[in-house]
A and B are shown apart, each in its own frame.
Chain A
Amino acid sequence: MEISFILNGNPVNAGIAPTQTLLDVLRESFRLTGTKEGCSEGECGACTVLVNGKAVVSCLMLAPQAEGCEVTTIEGLSLGGELHPIQTAFVKEGAVQCGYCTPGAVMSSYALLSENPRPGEGEIRAAIAGNLCRCTGYQKIVKAVQRAAEEMDDPV
């Protein structure tokens, strides 16, 4: 079947099998491999993308459900080559190690900061609770989100 949706700001079409997940379509049809597969069962958060502004694990969303939606992947955050403040904060705070969880964690943080521009530490931890990271111990991810919140709130 054929679906159309908005992907990182551009209208797109894709021929898909009805049982395919959004994750597979993003990775295989569009080769947007920034969205990672860590479990395929909604348990790791590595595949997190934004669908109509909300953080969604794309491995649990069937591709046909994306019809007409606005989908943003990690690649869509730095269009034009300029890093989003969240991405910059992840770099500067050392929130990236192996990086496999990073795109998902950045997308969850993005969704959080869109809804709650000045989250407390507990709110940040809750927002990324579904983004498993085996490398960092999360402390630097939390700091990165705090830093990004400050910088986005206080544009220079």
Chain B
Amino acid sequence: MSEIGTTVFRKDARAKVTGEALYATDLFEEGMLHGAVVRSPVPHARILSIDAGPALALPGVFAVLTSKDVPGKNEFGVITRDQPVLCNDTVRFTGDAVALVAAETREQAYQGAREVRVAYDPLPSVFDVESALREHAPLVHEKGNILKHVHLEKGNVESGFPEADIVLSETFRTAPGEHMPLETEAGLAKVSQDGVITIWASTQSAYRDQRDLAHALGLPENRIRVIVPHVGGAFGRKDGITVQIYLALLARATGRPVKMHCPREESASFFPKRHGTLLKYKVGAKRDGTLVAAALEAYYDTGAYAVFGEKVMGAGVEYGLGGYRIPHTQINGYSVYTNNPPAGAFRGFGMPQVTFAWESLLDELAYRCGMDPLEFRLKNSADHGEEGPLGQIFETSTGLRQTLEGVRSSPLWKKRLDLKTVSDPFKARGVGVASCIKGCGLGIGMPDFAEAEVQILPEGTFVARVGVTDMGEGIATTFCQIVAELLGVSSESVECIQSDTFLNPPGGPTAASRNTILTGKACFLAAEDLKRVLCETAARHWGGAPEGVVLTKSGPRMEGRTASFSEVSSWMVEQGKPPGVRARYDMPVASRPLGYGLPHRIYSFASHAALVEVDRLTGQVTVLEVSAFLDCGNVLNPQGLEGQSEGGVAQGIGFALMEKNVIQEGSVLNNKLSTYIIPTAPDMPAVETSAVDTYEEAGPFGAKGIAEAASGSVAPAIFNAVRDAVGVRLRDLPLSPEQLVEAMMERHES
């Protein structure tokens, strides 16, 4: 194996370092207009009237569209289509879209949007899940404020908890958060003469977008073409409709190309965020540290619309008790509507929230049992073939134990007692550990497959056509490596062409750590098939048996005869063969379904250890070192893996210590990069990444996805390190220095 397991530089890196790479924001078309959205300034209200007159009177303003101009169904949403494209009678959050404006310049479009006069009659609102669940709470949607309730049970917690010697009950809260991709939502739409609307968009989900666009525009899907240029970061934010429908509506109504590029404040205020959660846990263990019973009541605030809400909550609770052996468990998860901005998918898909709480709680339990937190986890971690906490069977590669053993053997963990020593009396240091589990793929009940087409070009190079998007993680390079490895060529001679719903086969979204396995495997199968076709072609040309042909780096060889790939390509044409082959791979499903689309069959695991320093006076926490141990199956590209890990740690540190959307009465107060703080270069500690030795049979060359697990256990490792340093534990995320100072003082006094 030469292509697999070695660092192959990203195929797109050159175009990105020179500035040649085009993103949706970089597209310009002759005669194009710019679009802007008229958004509700209030969290919940009836719309009394909309007057476009003042806007239309402004220079440059070309058109104003309202709900009446939505030709198809005025709704969208990934699973539940409960969000109007343009609100007709009711707005449900501050920022809900009411009208669209197209103008000659971007400034004129936004100016126009400010001048569309909308009269509202306010309705009562709810802004937190507890209020939303009260009797007689204002209803966000007529059907009630519970979007989804998931109930899972294994064993019997009623009899389980009394068996425990130590029982802890704790409530945790996590704040809503922002993805902050460097590129905001953007795209360009154009109607061609044959009536096809082409939308270039910064999206993770070209095919689902095509479906949703067709639904809202009242057009067959073959009239909608979605093309994805380079994507400037997404992390779940662009998994679905952002500006695509607006663009298509405006382009159709005006007959001119229309571009949108959301300003940062708009992006950070009104597009789906990470769910804020309220998590009530109870856990019990024997004195020797054996877990006996656990219960979780989880409330995910999905805001005004579902987006992915029910699935984020459903998947979230699937990970809420980690990958441990627990005989008695009970889970109640609720996805709850409020009048906050909608929440959607964000790296980890509901997992980082519960992982923070659960791994904090386990840590505390370890202390109470008088055990080392790492040994405590090792004692309870489930292995391959064993039953997980929900009753799922870990029937594929299961590396939780190896990740923990990795931490145990790491310099950071071994030296943790020495590392704690610090001469400054106002500083304290501590080391913490935490683990996480994340399913690969969408879960049972959602169609989860991908196709790929691998072609040979006349020049003798290869192309992998896929339906998914590289949103920055580097998956396109991975696909090239897979194809190259199978054909025995260098990945230099393989190109990956991504999402274009007219030219490429469907691939589903770039999400849920599914692409390495799904599209990767589809590439694998297609390349394998193409290899067969190449050998057959050469054999037929030379008059021999295909088994006698071997592929070398430069082309096929048979009994002293050689040819270049370019020649074989022309023979394929002569023999009437198409230049490429397609393959499809379906995500394997779990053999023991639990309902609600749960569980996954394939899981990735991670464990993180963190060294922190706490300033006893200010409560400031600084992360000094992080070691990551990842169960990603066989490593395809070490540099790519490190990239995912280091970026994941950065997002984990932001999640733990900095990032929180301050939302007051439904309005996001910190919607700028100067007020919503994400980690900068000086904030980042040294990150050490290791992959543990596992092999996932289903994945290409033994690999599975890791993007989400690589971030998931960072925050609890930090909170646990703080506990180790100063003896107190906070239960609200992100960590508030003021709260920490208070807690340290309380501890001092008692």
Q: Mark A104-143, 1 if CB is under 8 A from B, else 0.
A: 0010000000000000001011101111111111111110
| A137 and B650 in contact, given A38-B264, A46-B182, A129-B680 (Cβ under 8 angstroms) | yes
Residues of B within 8 A of A106 (CB): 17
Is the pair B19, A137 in contact by a Cβ cutoff of 8 Å? no
CB distance from A30 to the nearest CB of B (A): 11
At the interface, is chain A mostly helix, strand, loop or mixed?
Answer: loop
Is the pair A132, B680 in contact by a Cβ cutoff of 8 Å? yes
Is the pair B672, A99 in contact by a Cβ cutoff of 8 Å? no
Q: Mark B4-34, 1 if CB is under 8 A from A, else 0.
A: 0001011011111111111101101000000
| A132 and B643 in contact, given A36-B25, A38-B182, A99-B16 (Cβ under 8 angstroms) | no
- Distance of A102 Cα from B12 Cα, bound (Å): 12
Residues of B within 8 A of A141 (CB): 681
Q: Closest residue of chain B to A31, judged by CB?
A: B28
8 Å CB interface, A7-55 against B: 27-28, 31-41, 43-44, 46
B642 sits at the interface (CB 8 A)? yes
Is the pair B232, A98 in contact by a Cβ cutoff of 8 Å? yes
Residues of B within 8 A of A102 (CB): 16-17
| A137 and B9 in contact, given A37-B25, A40-B264, A100-B23 (Cβ under 8 angstroms) | no
- Distance of A135 Cα from B645 Cα, bound (Å): 10
Residues of A within 8 A of B684 (CB): 125, 137-139
Residues of B within 8 A of A75 (CB): 18-19
- Distance of A41 Cα from B16 Cα, bound (Å): 23
Q: Which of A37, A87, A142 contacts B681 (CB 8 A)?
A: A142
Residues of B within 8 A of A73 (CB): 19
Q: Mark B642-664, 1 if CB is under 8 A from A, else 0.
A: 11011111110000000000000
Q: Which of A103, A135, A139 contacts B687 (CB 8 A)?
A: A139
- Distance of A28 Cα from B107 Cα, bound (Å): 14
B263 sits at the interface (CB 8 A)? yes
- Distance of A43 Cα from B651 Cα, bound (Å): 18
Residues of B within 8 A of A28 (CB): 28
- Distance of A77 Cα from B233 Cα, bound (Å): 24
8 Å CB interface, A60-118 against B: 73-75, 77-78, 83, 87, 90-92, 94, 96-103, 106
Q: Mark B464-488, 1 if CB is under 8 A from A, else 0.
A: 0000000111100000000000000
Is the pair B672, A94 in contact by a Cβ cutoff of 8 Å? no
| A74 and B19 in contact, given A100-B233, A134-B233, A139-B686 (Cβ under 8 angstroms) | yes
Q: Closest residue of chain B to A138, judged by CB?
A: B681
CB distance from A86 to the nearest CB of B (A): 8
Q: Which of B7, B474, B674 contacts A97 (CB 8 A)?
A: B474
Is the pair A74, B261 in contact by a Cβ cutoff of 8 Å? no
Residues of A within 8 A of B687 (CB): 137, 139
Residues of A within 8 A of B184 (CB): 38
B180 sits at the interface (CB 8 A)? yes
Is the pair B646, A83 in contact by a Cβ cutoff of 8 Å? no
| A134 and B235 in contact, given A33-B22, A98-B182 (Cβ under 8 angstroms) | yes
8 Å CB interface, B667-692 against A: 672-674, 678-682, 684, 686-687
CB distance from A131 to the nearest CB of B (A): 7
- Distance of A96 Cα from B182 Cα, bound (Å): 13
Residues of B within 8 A of A137 (CB): 645-650, 679, 684, 687
- Distance of A21 Cα from B181 Cα, bound (Å): 23
Q: Closest residue of chain A to B268, judged by CB?
A: A39
- Distance of A100 Cα from B673 Cα, bound (Å): 15
Q: Closest residue of chain B to A92, judged by CB?
A: B9
- Distance of A87 Cα from B19 Cα, bound (Å): 10
Is the pair B181, A35 in contact by a Cβ cutoff of 8 Å? no
| A99 and B680 in contact, given A31-B28, A39-B673 (Cβ under 8 angstroms) | no
- Distance of A109 Cα from B261 Cα, bound (Å): 27
Is the pair A132, B673 in contact by a Cβ cutoff of 8 Å? yes
B401 sits at the interface (CB 8 A)? no
Is the pair B18, A96 in contact by a Cβ cutoff of 8 Å? no
- Distance of A136 Cα from B471 Cα, bound (Å): 13
Residues of A within 8 A of B19 (CB): 32-35, 73-75, 103
- Distance of A128 Cα from B640 Cα, bound (Å): 22
B609 sits at the interface (CB 8 A)? no
| A36 and B474 in contact, given A131-B681, A139-B686 (Cβ under 8 angstroms) | no
User: Which range holds the interface residue count of chain A?
Assistant: 35 or more
Residues of A within 8 A of B640 (CB): 94
Is the pair A94, B182 in contact by a Cβ cutoff of 8 Å? no
Q: Which of A32, A46, A94, A134 contacts B10 (CB 8 A)?
A: A94
Residues of B within 8 A of A83 (CB): 14, 17-18
CB distance from A9 to the nearest CB of B (A): 15
B69 sits at the interface (CB 8 A)? no
Q: Closest residue of chain B to A91, judged by CB?
A: B13
Q: Which of B20, B234, B473, B646 contacts A140 (CB 8 A)?
A: B646
Is the pair A36, B232 in contact by a Cβ cutoff of 8 Å? yes
Is the pair B643, A136 in contact by a Cβ cutoff of 8 Å? yes
B230 sits at the interface (CB 8 A)? yes
Is the pair B25, A98 in contact by a Cβ cutoff of 8 Å? no
- Distance of A94 Cα from B646 Cα, bound (Å): 11
B175 sits at the interface (CB 8 A)? no
Residues of B within 8 A of A132 (CB): 180, 182, 673, 678, 680
Which of B13, B263, B681 has the most CB atoms of chain A within a 10 A radius of its CB?
B681
Residues of B within 8 A of A94 (CB): 7, 9-10, 13, 639-640, 642-643
CB distance from A78 to the nearest CB of B (A): 5
Which of A75, A128, A131, A139 has the most CB atoms of chain B within a 10 A radius of its CB?
A139
Residues of A within 8 A of B680 (CB): 129-130, 132, 138
B231 sits at the interface (CB 8 A)? yes
Is the pair B182, A100 in contact by a Cβ cutoff of 8 Å? yes
Residues of A within 8 A of B21 (CB): 99
CB distance from A79 to the nearest CB of B (A): 10
Q: Closest residue of chain A to B646, judged by CB?
A: A137
Residues of A within 8 A of B643 (CB): 94, 97, 135-136, 140
Residues of A within 8 A of B9 (CB): 91-92, 94
Residues of A within 8 A of B233 (CB): 97-98, 100, 134-135
B183 sits at the interface (CB 8 A)? yes
Q: Closest residue of chain A to B687, judged by CB?
A: A139
Residues of A within 8 A of B645 (CB): 137
Which of A73, A100, A131, A142 has the most CB atoms of chain B within a 10 A radius of its CB?
A100
Residues of B within 8 A of A140 (CB): 642-643, 646
Is the pair A128, B681 in contact by a Cβ cutoff of 8 Å? yes
- Distance of A98 Cα from B234 Cα, bound (Å): 9
Q: Closest residue of chain B to A102, judged by CB?
A: B16
CB distance from A34 to the nearest CB of B (A): 2
- Distance of A146 Cα from B305 Cα, bound (Å): 47
Q: Closest residue of chain B to A126, judged by CB?
A: B682
- Distance of A38 Cα from B182 Cα, bound (Å): 5
Q: Closest residue of chain B to A134, judged by CB?
A: B233
Give me 17 other A-B pairs in contact (C-beta within 8 A), A94-B643, A100-B182, A133-B681 excluded.
A38-B673, A43-B672, A74-B17, A97-B10, A98-B472, A99-B472, A132-B180, A132-B182, A134-B235, A134-B650, A134-B678, A135-B233, A137-B649, A137-B650, A137-B684, A140-B646, A142-B681
> Can you name 26 A-B pairs with beta carbons within 8 Å?
A36-B232, A37-B25, A38-B183, A40-B264, A75-B18, A83-B14, A90-B13, A91-B14, A94-B10, A94-B642, A96-B10, A96-B17, A97-B647, A98-B181, A99-B232, A125-B681, A129-B681, A130-B680, A134-B182, A134-B235, A134-B651, A137-B649, A137-B650, A138-B650, A138-B679, A142-B681
Nearest 6 pairs between A and B by C-beta? A34-B19, A98-B472, A99-B16, A100-B232, A137-B646, A137-B650
